[in-house]
């Protein structure tokens, strides 16, 4: 799953850029070049979001880039594209095996349609995490 968040880039006096993601409180990074700042911003935002998911917390929705105002004469706004599947694979927690119980007729249907149970469950839970849904007391 890819997520897109607006970011503000501030040129540093000594060179390079500081990058802040306003929708993710405290998510700030920097790089010696614009390319490095973009990469560091993506890494910081991906880590911020993954940390929230692993803690069971919802993540904020991305603001419309037109609503984000860059302060300062040389600052500018752009977007960071986060490949959360790749980030989670590289830095996320190890896989955990879960058993589940479903009606036999549903199992027959799923197997006859080559449905990958793990993938369906992962996708559904991932969508819930992104939307901030779920019931922690269930």
- Tell me the pLDDT tens digit for each residue of 84-107: 888 777 766 555 666 778 888 988
- Three-state DSSP at 67 gives helix
Residue 80 is predicted with a pLDDT of 95
Residues 52 and 32: beta-carbon distance below 8 Å: no
Residue 93's H or E segment, with its range, is: none
Q: pTM for the complete prediction? A: 0.65
Phi, psi of 113 (to 5 degrees): -110, 15
Contact (CB, 8 A) for 84 and 25 = no
Which helix (H) or strand (E) is 24 found in, with range? none
Q: Check residue 85 and give its pLDDT.
A: 82
Question: Strand, coil or helix: what is 80?
Answer: strand
Report the pLDDT value the prediction gives residue 138, as an integer from 0 to 100. 40
Domains recognised in the chain with CATH numbers: 2-91 (3.30.160.250), 95-138 (no CATH)
């Amino acid at each position: 799953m890819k997520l897109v968040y607006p970011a503000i880039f501030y040129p540093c006096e000594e060179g390079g850029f500081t990058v802040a993601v306003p929708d993710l409180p405290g998510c700030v990074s920097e790089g010696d070049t614009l390319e490095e700042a973009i990469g560091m911003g993506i890494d910081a935002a991906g880590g911020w979001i993954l940390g929230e998911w692993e803690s069971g917390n919802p993540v904020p929705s991305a603001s419309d880039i037109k609503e984000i105002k860059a302060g300062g004469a040389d600052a500018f706004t752009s977007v960071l594209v986060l490949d959360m599947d790749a980030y989670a694979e590289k830095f996320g927690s190890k896989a955990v095996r879960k058993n589940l119980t479903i009606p036999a007729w549903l199992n027959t249907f799923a197997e006859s349609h080559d449905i990958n149970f793990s993938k369906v469950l992962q996708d559904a839970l991932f969508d819930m995490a992104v939307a901030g849904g779920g019931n922690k007391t269930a």
